[in-house]
């Protein structure tokens, strides 16, 4: 490998957009360039909120073609996405629709799941906080609807997208942990959970680790990165020691690395998750993030530049707060009306809604940090922020005030860099064998 620049392609897809980023090692760092970006989003249909799989795959392939124009000798690629969503398969054919995690179909499934295995036992086994969209509830809803009886496999979203490129089927560890069915001690799907819920055992294969090659596409190796975007983002953060991190995007994931999961009652009651990282466990809190301001912008001032929005919010005098963890903010028809319903007094201006959202997010971060330190017995002095939210200086200042931590904002493509970092490591390991 000496003397030759080797290029790697990260396909990083979030709930609102996707991007293709080529990276390579240079002077001890990973250099990156974005070659393609596309919009993504759930579609409201008669079936509910769904993902348009064919449009996703089309954009992935178009982005790869763009990457080839500039970098014809790419060594490998990998795809990371959000957690919990999956595609049911019958042979080589998808069982549609592919539901999106914000769809409300899991409502009746949740009490049935907990009747078969109480949440306290689920948490003791998995360490995953209760979220109505966790894969465990989605799969039970599919079982109730008769869809699992048709399926011979289900593929987590990033694995499905790589399957469409190379034909290799795999469940990767970090993504699988988000669904609420992976045993925190063994790092594999928990057979007791599968049996208690009556799921077909053949749907739950052995999990694969980041760095595993599962196939090839147009001469490039297709590699499993840490396919859950949060795990990839954390892998990229250049921390000095083991500090707090905040991956700030549509969702805000606030946490720290720990050597092994904490599945005690205190962690359960505080709603902390133990998700898979690369060689560690990620003790973190899922918080509704920039989704709040993104939806407010769509509704109140579409197209208005973010720097103007934040400047006006900072100058506004409205000081009301909402609970950014309130599930009523998850998928409201109107985000403005959702805020109005929670506030004793309504903002007098559009800027007041954004000020309220930013201050509420920072307040939630502060409470989450204090609870995390109480649960773990560990106090940290720094908070590293990555993702799109790291570019928001106003929110960063509010977060520093609310948490009492030194905020280090890294407006980098952290998820893509973590994706590429795993690919580089896999390439070096293969070359050394």
Distance in angstroms (rounded) separating the CA atoms of residues 224 and 426: 9
Q: What is the per-residue burial (b if ≥16 Cβ within 10 Å, else e) of 226-239?
A: bbbbbbbbbbbbee
Fold of 7-227: Nucleotidyltransferase; domain 5 (3.30.420)
pTM confidence score: 0.90
- Looking at residue 411, its pLDDT comes to 78
CA 265 to CA 298: how far, in whole Å? 40
User: Cα–Cα distance between 196 and 269 in angstroms, integer?
Assistant: 23
**Domain boundaries defined on the chain:** 7-227, 228-415
Strand partners, 255: 245, 284
Q: Is 85 a catalytic residue?
A: no
Rounded Cα–Cα distance for residues 254 and 251 (Å): 10
Q: What is the pLDDT of residues 293-310, one digit of tens each?
A: 999 999 999 999 999 999
Cβ 183 vs Cβ 190: under 8 Å: yes
The reply to whether 228-415 shares the fold of 7-227 is: yes
Q: What is the pLDDT of residue 433?
A: 65
Q: Whose structure tokens read 């950014």? A: 324
* Structure token digits, residue 402: 């609310």
Low-confidence ranges of the chain (pLDDT < 70): 1-3, 433
- Are the C-beta atoms of 299 and 333 separated by less than 8 Å? no
Q: For residue 288, give every residue at least 6 positions away whose Cβ sits within 8 Å of its Cβ, in sequence order, or none.
A: 251, 252, 324, 325, 326, 329, 330
* Residues listed for the chain: 433
The CATH number given to 228-415 is: 3.30.420.40
Active-site entry in 80, 85, 103, 229: 229
């Amino acid at each position: 490998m000496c003397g030759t620049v080797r290029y790697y392609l990260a396909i990083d897809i979030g709930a609102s957009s996707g991007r293709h980023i080529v990276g390579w090692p240079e002077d001890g760092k990973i250099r990156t360039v974005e070659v393609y970006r596309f919009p993504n989003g759930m579609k409201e249909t008669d079936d509910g909120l769904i993902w348009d799989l064919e449009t996703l795959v089309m954009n992935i392939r178009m982005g790869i073609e763009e990457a080839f124009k500039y970098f014809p000798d790419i060594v490998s690629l990998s795809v990371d996405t959000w957690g919990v969503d999956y595609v049911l398969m019958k042979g080589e054919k998808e069982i549609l629709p592919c539901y999106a995690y914000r769809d409300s179909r899991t409502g009746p499934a949740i009490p049935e799941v907990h009747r078969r295995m109480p949440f306290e036992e689920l948490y003791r086994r998995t360490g995953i906080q209760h979220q109505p969209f966790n894969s465990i509830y989605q799969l039970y809803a599919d079982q109730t609807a008769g869809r699992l009886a048709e399926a011979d496999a289900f593929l987590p979203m990033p694995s499905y997208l790589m399957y469409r490129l190379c034909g290799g089927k795999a469940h990767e560890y970090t993504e699988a942990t988000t669904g609420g069915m992976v045993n925190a001690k063994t790092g594999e799907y928990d057979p007791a959970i599968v049996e208690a819920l009556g799921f077909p055992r053949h749907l739950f294969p052995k999990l694969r680790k980041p760095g595993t090659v599962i196939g090839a596409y147009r001469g490039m190796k297709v590699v499993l990165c840490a396919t859950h975007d949060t795990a990839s983002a954390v892998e990229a953060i250049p921390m000095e020691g083991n500090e707090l991190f905040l991956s700030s995007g549509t969702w805000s994931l606030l946490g720290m690395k720990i050597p092994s999961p904490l599945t005690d009652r205190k962690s359960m009651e505080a709603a902390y998750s133990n998700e898979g990282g690369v060689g560690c466990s990620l003790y973190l809190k899922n918080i509704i993030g920039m989704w709040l301001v993104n939806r407010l912008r769509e509704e109140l001032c579409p197209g208005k530049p973010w720097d103007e929005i934040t400047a006006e919010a900072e100058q506004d005098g409205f000081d009301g707060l909402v609970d950014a963890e309130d599930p009523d903010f998850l998928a409201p028809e109107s985000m403005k009306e959702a805020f109005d319903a929670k506030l004793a007094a309504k903002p007098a201006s559009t800027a007041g809604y954004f000020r309220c959202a930013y201050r509420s997010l920072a307040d939630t971060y502060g409470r989450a940090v204090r609870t995390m330190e109480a649960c773990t017995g560990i106090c940290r002095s720094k908070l590293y922020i990555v993702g799109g939210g790291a570019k928001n200086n106003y929110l960063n200042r509010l977060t520093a005030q609310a948490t009492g931590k030194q905020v280090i904002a890294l407006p980098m493509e952290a998820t893509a860099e973590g994706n590429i970092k795993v690919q580089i490591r896999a390439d070096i390991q293969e070359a050394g064998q």
